[in-house]
Structure 1
Amino acid sequence: MATEVVKGKSVTVHFDGQRCVHSRNCVLDHPDVFVPNVEGDWIHPDAASADELMRIAKNCPSGAIRCERHDGGEGEAAPIVNTVRVRENGPLAFNAPLRMRGVDDGLRATLCRCGASKRKPWCDGSHADLGFSATGEPAVVASQPLASRDGELRAEPQKDGPLKVSGNLEIVSGTGHTLNRVTETFLCRCGQSRNKPYCDGSHRKAGFVAE
């Protein structure tokens, strides 16, 4: 599926349907810009201000929506604090300057933690069909404030194993509580760990297969 590109007077909207996890923030916040269930054109950039379009893009957890300004205004900035939110019964939602296997992956991405996505390491919504069950409020781990809270974050999916993440990162619950602060961690992506969101080696026993 190719990225849809819709140019408005002040903003061009890029929509990557393969990244979309149907959080529905866009159609609920601005159904006049993103019009659901219609034939033909469904993205209308001129229905909202440039600032409002940038806010919509920022609220898209998967990075499926990206807005490119051409009115001289500020584009989307990297966050002051790199975070990954643990979604209840769902994926890991990153907000950071993310490099996936050394390639720029934007500032927002939702990565699979149920083990069933056909687009690993990215989420494709398979957790819903699978009936994946995993808390978005795991236990808090005692941690010290990071010396720096931003900067590049590197994600390296391990073959048949977890997601290795390196860089400054705060692990956050679905309701916004800081659970841990790390500069390197291994996050479960097989869906079998008993210590989610962290890897506990269960992928080996489960026979998890993924690049």
Structure 2
Amino acid sequence: MSGDERRRIVVLDNGPYVVYGRIPLRRKRKIVSEQDDSLGWETRETLQTEEIYVLCRCGRSGSKPFCDGTHAVIGFDGTESADVRLYEEVQHVHDGVGISAQRVGELCIHAAFCIGRTRPIAEMLADTDDSDVRSNVMGRIGDCPSGSYSYALQRDGNPIEPDLPQAISVLEEENDQASALWVTGGVPVFRADGQPLETRIRMTLCRCGQSDNKPLCDGTHRKIGFRDENTVSGGTPESDRSP
């Protein structure tokens, strides 16, 4: 079995995420404008890991993002309710000029790339005959960490996804508020019952413990003001914005 085939994330029943295959783990912070417009992601540091490591899912670990067993102490309820149907089975399609945008609202974590400072993607699509507007829409969709939004060049066309490596990113908001675990590059994720979630180029897993769409993030971390107190840091800082 090759290294890529060994790479996977397994959700434990009422417990953490077990990560196999030495999948790179790093921190990323959202970049915003002076007007609070979401612009992109900054890679901050790579965390040291072993071949197999365990990430907190209950949100209460004292060594975040890693698990320290607190889930067992607090009786964490990690019941999973995420839809296991394929993205294309539940997507809503919105056509523009030279672009067809798809969206699954249940995957949204409210990272706000689809909103824009002046108007949301849903409104911008009406003006995509302007290539600058179309490019803006494509860029915003490409920065959506959960892949709630995706796009093709035409309805029923092949989806165009950003070229993202196999990695897990611990996301942080611009105000030091903690966010989700961003899984990229098509890493398989298995529920506690052994059933796989659809393998996608990008998806976001809950790490505050409060999502109503477990194991996926639903943006609840923003509502509860989830933060990363007692975090583990270390590794190699990175200053580039590349995935």
Structure 2 CA distance for partners of 1:138 and 1:197, relative to 1, 3 Å: same
Q: Relative to structure 2, which stretch is displaced further, 165-174 or 84-93?
A: 165-174
Contact 1:172 1:178 in 2 (8 A): yes
Partner amino acid, structure 2, of 1:153: Q
Partner of 1:162: helix, strand, or coil?
strand
The equivalent of 1:48 in structure 2 is none
Partner of 1:158: helix, strand, or coil?
strand
Q: Distance in 2 between matches of 1:78 and 1:90?
A: 25
1:105 paired residue among 37, 43, 49: 49
Cα deviation code 1:95-148 (max 9, x no counterpart)? 13311113452321110010000111110000011111012575423169xxxx
Q: How many residues align?
A: 130
Partner amino acid, structure 2, of 1:114: C
Indicate whether 1:115 and 2:59 are aligned: yes
Cα deviation code 1:68-111 (max 9, x no counterpart)? xxxxxxxx963524221111100011113311113452321110
The equivalent of 1:184 in structure 2 is 202
1:170 paired residue among 188, 198, 220: 188
Indicate whether 1:131 and 2:105 are aligned: no
Q: Distance in 2 between matches of 1:201 and 1:138?
A: 14
Contact 2:84 2:198 in 1 (8 A): yes
Q: Distance in 1 between matches of 2:69 and 2:216?
A: 20
Scaled by the length of structure 1, the TM-score of the pair is 0.55
Higher helix share: 2
**Segments of 4+ moved more than 3 angstroms:** 136-139
Structure 1: gaps (5+ residues): 1-75, 145-151
Contact 1:88 1:137 in 2 (8 A): no
Residue identity over aligned pairs, in percent, reads: 35
Structure 2: gaps (5+ residues): 27-45, 89-164, 173-177, 232-243
Cα deviation code 1:16-43 (max 9, x no counterpart)? xxxxxxxxxxxxxxxxxxxxxxxxxxxx
Scaled by the length of structure 2, the TM-score of the pair is 0.48
- Note the aligned Cα RMSD (angstroms): 2.5
Cα deviation code 1:2-29 (max 9, x no counterpart)? xxxxxxxxxxxxxxxxxxxxxxxxxxxx
